[in-house]
A and B are shown apart, each in its own frame.
Chain A
Amino acid sequence: MTIFHQIVDKPWLPLSDQVEQLHSGRSFHLPQKKLALRFFFAVGTVIFSLLTVSYAERMAYEVWRPLPETWLLWSNAAVLLFSSVAFQRATVCARRGETPSVQKALYAGGFFTLLFLAGQLLSWHQLQTGNALDPRNPANEFFILITGLHGLHLLGGLVVWGRTVLKLRRGSNPAVICRSVELCTAYWHFLFIIWLALFGLLFFPGGSLPIICRAF
């Protein structure tokens, strides 16, 4: 039953079969937290899409000076990828119930995330001090805004990560842990995808995006 089927029946008529009569009261076959997390992904997607649109709008009307790509940002992307992979591994292990490996993978994920955040801070520092850069280049402002909000989302994720690690160390029920780990993993994948999109936006178009925008 898709959500669309659920909103067409005539509720004043008796429902056709017993199963429906005892409808479970759920619209999706998902744990509640997962559904809530998906809604949160929608919120995050809107935030970053709006930033993208704002950025593109601005590019269209400036003599645009793109940001210099640096090795640092490439390595940061790799680090975030590692953390995503680590979380994935944690999920796999948690599903199999291999608690010690879960713990190791989780630690790795957290470590790479922190490394990523440190790397981002360093890149901000480079932007500010790098004398090759024009401090008035609006691309800088957007870079800091976008990566800053992305980093804040990761920090929020780290709070949940911390609670999961605590649960693990307290030896909670493996099923409960598995659910938490799954949620973290989904969240990290989401933020990794967002990062890829932003990274592409900030560095790749090499002038193509502004041209597209100007067409409008």
Chain B
Amino acid sequence: MVVAVILILIVVGSVVFHFMSPWWWTPIASNWGYIDDTIIITFWITGTVFVAVILFMAYCVLKFQHKEGRRATYEPENKKLEWWLTGLTAIGVAGMLAPGLFVWNQYVSVPEDADVVEVLGQQWQWSYRYPGEDGVLGTSDARLIDSDNPFGVNPNDPNGQDDILVEGDDLHLPIDRPVKMLLRSIDVLHDFYVPQFRAKMDLVPGAVTFFWLTPTRTGAFDILCAELCGTGHHIMRGTVIVDNAAEYDEWMSEQETFAELAARAKAEEKQQAGLGTPTGDGFEKKVSLVVNEDTAKPIQ
């Protein structure tokens, strides 16, 4: 009796908790509403099974508990029942899998016209690179990274000269435009995660990974790191600001390009080194190593 009642209470309690508790996902701010829908479908199918199985068990415990003289029925198997249950389960599973794969197909198919933004992760901060006027990111290589070139942009690549580099500042994205986030790490694994966007992906050193989204709501959202990356993992935070087009353009116009940054760095170097002629060999030597990581090592 007690056991059956407790089992029923567990079921009722879980369902009530699900509908009444204040804890649910944060309001969405991207195009990935389909993901939420798939979760809802999954909830209904699996929730039904959970409720049915536990209530059935409660009923059995109530009805077939031991009494003096009671004997169980002897029924080693029931082929028909088992095949029915198998079939129904298969249908339920297919009902979840089909929408899941459908949405996944969208998740992995980046729209042709998507903008490109690069996210660079390192212990324990985020920086960002925009392709600039030409819409193309310059090639880069971790082996080129030094204090003057924190992104490892290839200085000989014309595409890279107008790249916009954002360090120690927020990431800005324009609303309602699909964007492909290219993810790169220079040390360990990280994971770019904005709860309101639903999407996330690991950053893998030595490779470039990606995902895409369309922001659908303006505002400021937290960027978290969702892949353990050392003692500072939980403080590896950032902010993404979704702007409307005008605000976005204004912000963009205030940013510095790679060429500007490099020129300034050179100027400072000159000042420090007195009037000595710049040798310039620093770059030239390394350039022979340059490979475009995008093509050299596709994600496996």
Which residues of A are in contact with B by a Cβ distance under 8 Å? 10, 12, 57, 61
Contacts and interface: CB of A to CB of B under 8 A. Distances in A.
Contacts of A10: 76-77
Interface string B45-83: 000000000000000000000000000000011000000
Nearest to B76: A12
Contact of A57 (B76, B77, B296, B300): B300
Nearest to A216: B300
B257 to A, nearest CB: 32
Interface string B276-300: 0000000000000000000011001
A61 B76 contact: no
A123 B77 CA distance: 63
Contacts of B296: 61
B23 to A, nearest CB: 42
Interface of B: 76-77, 296-297, 300
Contacts of A57: 300
A188 to B, nearest CB: 37
A209 to B, nearest CB: 16
A61 B298 CA distance: 8
Nearest to B75: A12
A61 B297 CA distance: 6
7 closest Cβ pairs, A-B complex: A12-B76, A61-B297, A57-B300, A10-B76, A61-B296, A61-B300, A10-B77
A57 B296 CA distance: 14
A28 to B, nearest CB: 27
A10 to B, nearest CB: 7
Nearest to A12: B76
Contacts of B76: 10, 12
Contacts of B297: 61
A57 B76 CA distance: 50
B284 to A, nearest CB: 22
A61 B300 CA distance: 10
A63 to B, nearest CB: 9
A134 to B, nearest CB: 15
B101 to A, nearest CB: 21
A61 B77 CA distance: 54
